[in-house]
């Protein structure tokens, strides 16, 4: 695995962030890793075409510490969503183990909130009803759920839009609603799958900054999937590069030692950003080309 030389200060910063990140007191031994994907392999067997097997992910190991913001970049179709589904407990790996705060994961990961890649709002529910759904399912009293839902809609800039249905909102508003829906339960681990890829660049940067601000306040563990390298560097403490499929696995890991708080638009001008971008792209470029060639062959 290739890795950037890491200045001492970056190590210190990360340790401080992780220790402060729990927000529930001291880090307990063995629990400082919020999510561990340990030697994960995922093989899919096609129902049609004579039961052909496709190994999307092979022997992939990845950790997110408490309080850490980790981005995963990789070519399209390489297995990013598959890995996230494994971390969420929605997909059982063929081999390997998932640990959540040191405990082997069985079934759905209840410590995690998952913002899906596609549109995941219930079309028959208004924004407020979508946002409070998770609390209701968890048995929270309806009046309290509503109050907390309205508070979260305000936090994501949608105060006053609670009665709108998904089809009455813009793409950006729907993404904001999904963000509120994910964060309202205050999950210890936040999983986000290309949450802003469908947005225009200005809306996207505004939302990236909002997410960073919310994250700075709580410092939960974040596993963020994107194929946008700029976004990954601007947001993260660490960027992990995945190889092209089949048999995707991490092939590079880079500590992002840029100062925080960050403005995602401004941080792109930082000389260190440019340096990190060049170093990561050097690893990613070849995989993107391989991934593209494979998709053309399909």
Ligand X SMILES: Nc1ncnc2c1ncn2[C@@H]1O[C@H](COP(=O)(O)OP(=O)(O)OP(=O)(O)O)[C@@H](O)[C@H]1O
Residue nearer to Mg ion on the CB measure, 117 or 294: 117
Candidates 12-20, 29-37, 64-72, 75-83 — which segment interacts with Mg ion by CB under 5 A?
A: 75-83
If you ran DSSP here, which 8-state letter would residue 200 be given?
Answer: -
Scanning 52-60, 113-121, 167-175, 275-283 for contacts with Mg ion by CB under 5 A, the matching segment is: 113-121
Q: Which is nearer to ligand X, 76 or 203 (CB)?
A: 76
CB of 121 to ligand X, least distance (A): 19
Nearer to ligand X, 18 or 42 (CB): 42
| Contact indicator for 199, 208 with CB cutoff of 8 Å | no
* The entry of ligand X, Mg ion, none that residue 172 binds, CB within 5 to 8 Å by partner kind: none
Q: Name the closest residue to Mg ion (Cβ).
A: 81
Asked if 83 contacts 77 with a C-beta cutoff of 8 angstroms, the reply is: no
Question: In the bound complex, what is the minimum distance in angstroms from residue 155's beta carbon to ligand X?
Answer: 28
Contact between 197 and Mg ion per CB under 5 A: no
Cα–Cα distance measured from residue 289 to residue 168, given in angstroms and rounded to the nearest whole number: 39
From the CB of 17, what's the least distance to ligand X, in Å? 27
> What separation in angstroms does the CA of 272 have from each of 16, 19, 256?
21, 25, 9
Q: How many residues does the chain have?
A: 298
The candidate with the shortest Cα–Cα distance to 149, out of 172, 168, 176, 123, is 176
CA dist., res. 82 & res. 92, Å (int): 10
CB 196 within 8 A of CB 208: yes
Q: Which of these ranges, 60-68, 110-118, 176-184, 271-279, lies near Mg ion under the rule CB under 5 A?
A: 110-118
Radius of gyration, alpha carbons of the chain? 19
By CB under 5 A, the count of residues binding Mg ion is: 3
For ligand X, give the closer residue by CB, 56 or 211. Answer: 56
| Distance from C-alpha of 185 to C-alpha of 45, rounded to nearest angstrom | 35
In the complex, least distance from residue 79 CB atom to ligand X, rounded to whole angstroms: 4
Partner from ligand X, Mg ion, none binding residue 113, C-beta < 5-8 Å depending on class: none
Other Cβ atoms within 10 Å of 56 Cβ, number = 21
103-104: strand order across its sheet? 53-65, 33-45, 95-100, 103-104
Residue 44 interaction partner, one of Mg ion, ligand X, none, beta carbon < 5-8 Å per kind: ligand X
Of 41, 43, 81, 294, the residue at the interface with Mg ion (CB under 5 A) is: 81
Q: Which is nearer to ligand X, 21 or 74 (CB)?
A: 74
Nearer to ligand X, 51 or 107 (CB): 51
Q: Which residues bind ligand X (CB under 6 A)?
A: 44, 54, 56, 74, 76-82, 117, 227, 245
Which residue spans within 66-216 are E strands per DSSP?
69-73, 95-100, 103-104, 112-115, 189-193
Question: 9 vs 61, which CB is nearer to ligand X?
Answer: 61
Which residues contribute to the site for Mg ion (CB under 5 A)?
80-81, 117
């Amino acid at each position: 695995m290739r890795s950037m030389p890491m200045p001492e200060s970056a190590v210190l910063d990360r340790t401080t962030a992780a220790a402060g990140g729990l927000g529930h007191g001291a880090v307990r031994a063995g629990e400082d890793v919020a999510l561990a994907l340990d030697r994960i392999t995922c093989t899919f067997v096609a129902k049609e075409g004579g039961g052909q097997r496709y190994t999307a992910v092979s022997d992939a190991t990845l950790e997110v510490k408490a309080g850490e913001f980790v981005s995963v970049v990789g070519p399209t179709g390489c297995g990013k969503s598959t890995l996230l589904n494994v971390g969420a407990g929605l997909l059982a790996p063929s081999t390997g183990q998932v640990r959540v705060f040191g405990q082997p994961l069985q079934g759905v990961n209840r410590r995690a909130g998952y913002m899906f890649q596609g549109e995941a709002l219930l079309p028959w529910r208004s924004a407020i009803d979508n946002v409070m759904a998770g609390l209701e399912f968890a048995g929270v009293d309806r009046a309290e759920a509503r109050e907390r839902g309205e508070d979260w809609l305000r936090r994501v800039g949608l105060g006053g839009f609670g009665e709108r249905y998904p089809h009455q909102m813009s793409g950006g508003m729907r993404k904001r609603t999904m963000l509120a829906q994910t964060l309202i339960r205050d999950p210890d681990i936040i999983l986000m799958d290309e949450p802003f890829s469908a947005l225009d660049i200005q809306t996207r940067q505004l939302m990236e900054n909002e997410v960073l601000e919310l994250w700075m306040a709580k410092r939960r563990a974040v596993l963020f999937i994107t194929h946008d390298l700029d976004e990954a560097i601007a947001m993260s403490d660490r960027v992990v590069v995945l190889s092209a499929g089949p048999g995707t696995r991490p092939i590079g890991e880079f500590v992002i030692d840029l100062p925080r708080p960050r403005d995602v638009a401004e941080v792109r001008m930082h000389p260190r950003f440019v340096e990190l971008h060049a170093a990561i792209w050097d690893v990613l470029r070849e995989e993107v080309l391989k991934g593209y060639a494979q998709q053309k062959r399909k």
